[in-house]
Amino acid sequence: MSTRHPLLLAGAAALTLVVASPAQQNAPTVANADYLAIQSLPRVPDPLVAEVLADFPHDPRAFTQGLLLDGDVLLESTGLYGQSELREVDLASGVVMRSKPLPSTHFGEGLVLQDGRLIQLTWKEGIAHLWDRQSFESLGQFNYTGEGWGITTDGTHLIMSNGSDRLFFRDPQTFAVVRELAVSVEGQPVTFLNELEYAENMVWANIWQQDFIVGIDPASGEVRSVVDARPLRALLVRPPGAPAPGVLNGIAFNPSQGTYYVTGKNWPTLFEVQFVSAP
């Protein structure tokens, strides 16, 4: 069951992003969080807000890492050691229709669908699991170096993040890196790029530990838009006994409606939103 909302708009004042000084650009891991500067942007590029159109139930025990829409169902990757899964979820009810567990030593991360295959990253294990979209049966794996965070596709290449200010364009057949893109705003690197979605000729990226989404030009790496999603948190109602809602994470585009589905780690709600200009 979904719930319709009136416009949910928030002012764009005092937007902040995690940006790194030149000496910090090569510090992509969570352990470096204390060394990254939190700076107010002097001019927010194209400030947007997430206008809520509807909301849907979401499993509050799902540590959401990757999210995408396939027809009328959601495909979701969840994380945490011993709890990571590949899931197929009914959009309207939030019911998990089927799931595939990862090995207990693998921490699930981003998820993408291309050419009938699901590719599911792992955080530190250097393994991308390949799954048949229809059967959920294993098709093998890719190996990579470094951390895996988010992944999406522009239809030609896979686009992957690792928590740094870089996006990596990969060959979907070999997983080899064919291009590396530095992401910045006003000349400063934007770090902690996490879950990704390619839509409307932009790469949309969650910023880890912040309730903001940035729209990245896939050619230049320049941040063109910043979406303020902070008001969504006020709409969350934590079920009794459920984990506390974590950071915003999970973006899925609905091309038939031109809308986005967003949620977060252990969020009890999935929101259907559109990105509109900030007042």
What would the pLDDT profile of 95-123 be if each residue is shown by its tens digit? 999 999 999 999 999 999 999 999 999 99
Domain ranges of the chain: 3-277
Query: Within 13 Å of residue 14, how many CA atoms lie on the same side as its CB?
Result: 2
What would the pLDDT profile of 179-192 be if each residue is shown by its tens digit? 999 998 888 889 99
First vs last C-alpha separation in the chain: 30
Give the fold, CATH level 3, of 3-277. Lipocalin (2.40.128)
Q: What pTM does this model have?
A: 0.85
CA 210 to CA 142: how far, in whole Å?
A: 30
Q: Residue 10: what pLDDT?
A: 37
3 state DSSP class of 232: helix
φ, ψ of residue 205 in degrees (nearest 5)? -135, 130
Which residue type, as a one-letter code, is found at position 259?
T
What would the pLDDT profile of 140-183 be if each residue is shown by its tens digit? 999 999 999 999 999 999 999 999 999 999 999 999 999 999 99
Q: Residue 264: what pLDDT?
A: 95
